[in-house]
Amino acid sequence: MNKYENAIQIMEERCGNDKEVLIALATISLFPNTEGNLRPAVRMVCAYYEEGVFYVSTDAKKNKTLQIEKNNEVSVAGLDWFAFNGTAENLGWVKDEKNAEIRKKFKEVFNWFDEVGDEDNPDSIVLRITLTEGTIIDNGKKYGELQYEIDFINKTVK
């Protein structure tokens, strides 16, 4: 395997394989600080990972969703030693036919989804976070490297 494949394998081992992952999701606040500068807003969310994308169940009226509508550039980080940039997109109502496979996955991966997913509410949406670049650390050097700087778009590692 090449370095990119090794890095993706680490991501799959840590975040993939149909498991729930707790990630920090950072967006840009809609309201500036007292000096007039925009500031980051971060929160922990439950997600599942597949092929360079995190999926999140959320509400269309939550701050994170409103912030993403204005600026879809986001950052994510996890306790599994990764930090990435990406773009987020509201895929719409979780019960929309186009989201059927993702909804099925939510039910399989998130043991809480049936109870609190509020899927009959049209504001219950799927948030897709497509990773663009970032870093994952492999303290055990399982595949030879300590740190992988991943470019998900060009499928390369520095």
Tell me, what's the pLDDT at 3? 96
Mean pLDDT of 12-30: 97
Tell me, what's the pLDDT at 155? 97
pLDDT digits (tens, 9 = 90+) for 53-86: 999 999 999 999 999 999 999 999 999 999 999 9
Residue 132 pLDDT greater than 90, yes or no = yes
Tell me, what's the pLDDT at 58? 98
Tell me, what's the pLDDT at 144? 93
Residue 112 pLDDT greater than 90, yes or no = yes
For residue 141, the cross-strand partners are: none
For the chain, give the DSSP string.
--HHHHHHHHHHHHH-SS--EEEEEEEE-SS--TTS---EEEEEEEEEEETTEEEEEEETTSHHHHHHHH--EEEEEETTTEEEEEEEEEEEETTSGGGHHHHHHHHHH-TTHHHH--TTSTTEEEEEEEEEEEEEE-TT-TTS-SEEEEETTTTEE-
Long-range contacts of 105-108 (CB under 8 A, 24+ apart): 105/18, 105/48, 105/50, 105/55, 106/48, 106/55, 106/57, 108/18
Tell me, what's the pLDDT at 25? 98
Tell me, what's the pLDDT at 1? 84
pTM here is 0.96
